[in-house]
Structure 1
């Protein structure tokens, strides 16, 4: 089984430097152009199933690539609780250590009240992978459109969960990763591919 995991296109809040998390924001014109590029990049694949996070930005991106998709709550972005909707500069003033946590440098810590750690997102990502493994998609290719920190958590979980930081696994808007499942083991083929986005990043 092969899974392509893509981040959504740029949103208004991305452009404004606001932390989205579980909140919604529309794609910008640039985000729509990124989604178009990703759709072209995905044409060689034949997806047996397509999943999207329930967030508006992911569904808008997914519709450009594959209009027939299923919503999966497990693909939601990391919840940043009380910090959602704030700018990173405002968050810096509240807690100068929070930005490092948001970047994934301390996966077991939380940023904001009533929030979720990256390690907890990684556990949720594992539940998504286990769901696919149990759905008899043995020889299928699956597409999932999700979020930047979800992708960080998932790649960290598979690829290097022994490392203290997940911050290196950054994905630009509409960048994507590929993982495979064989002999009961997940393997990262590549992560953060963005060459198709030259000119629209």
Structure 2
């Protein structure tokens, strides 16, 4: 069975201010670094085979903190980079519907993320994977697994959502766990 723990990166200053980052490289703030440390301590209680990250700095830094704690290296997968929001980057996240109309087309974003998920299935059967990525990526994965077009639950910074694949179907074990922070 393939088990994947989806981890949203720690907080950035832009997250704290509610500003769209998209593929812009922003760094973790002090709170985000502390969140990543707490996440690492919590996850170190289980056995993990690999850590995969989006190439953006905020995800890579979160993944590196976690990987150092559990003595693994970080592998980068471009498929799990955040959605590109085009001209909406830098604007307040008020009307997400409006922001979804600019930048990377949602159908292409979803296709990219699912290609990455299928690569994990093909290459890492019976592995336990930590996947450090972004809120929109996690939402795409979960909406796909739930066969839903919309999933409006907020994905908190440094939250954990665990999914499993048994070669037939997916199971969502939990979503948006933050009780360890």
Specify if TM > 0.5: yes
Give the number of the structure whose alpha-carbon radius of gyration is greater: 1
2:6 maps to 5
- How far, CA to CA, are the matches of 1:39 and 1:115 in structure 2? 32
CA shift at 1:41, angstroms? 1.1
Q: Does residue 191 of structure 1 match 2:170?
A: no
Once the two structures are superposed, the pairs formed by residues 10-159 of structure 1 within 5 Å of their partners are 10-67=11-68, 68-88=73-93, 98-100=95-97, 110-112=100-102, 114-117=103-106, 119-135=107-123, 137-159=124-146
Residues 101 and 11 of structure 1: is their aligned pair in 2 closer, same or farther, counting only changes over 3 Å? Answer: same
Q: After the TM superposition, which of the residue ranges 41-50 and 24-33 deviates more from structure 2?
A: 41-50
Paired residues, number: 176
Q: Using structure 1 for the length normalisation, give the TM-score.
A: 0.81
| Contact 1:82–1:115 (CA under 8 A) maintained in structure 2 | no
Consecutive unaligned residues in structure 2, runs of 5 or more? none
Consecutive unaligned residues in structure 1, runs of 5 or more? 93-97, 103-109
Task: Give the number of the structure with larger relative contact order, counting CA–CA contacts within 8 Å between residues 6 or more apart.
Answer: 2
Q: Using structure 2 for the length normalisation, give the TM-score.
A: 0.90
CA shift at 1:15, angstroms? 1.8
- How far, CA to CA, are the matches of 2:84 and 2:160 in structure 1? 21
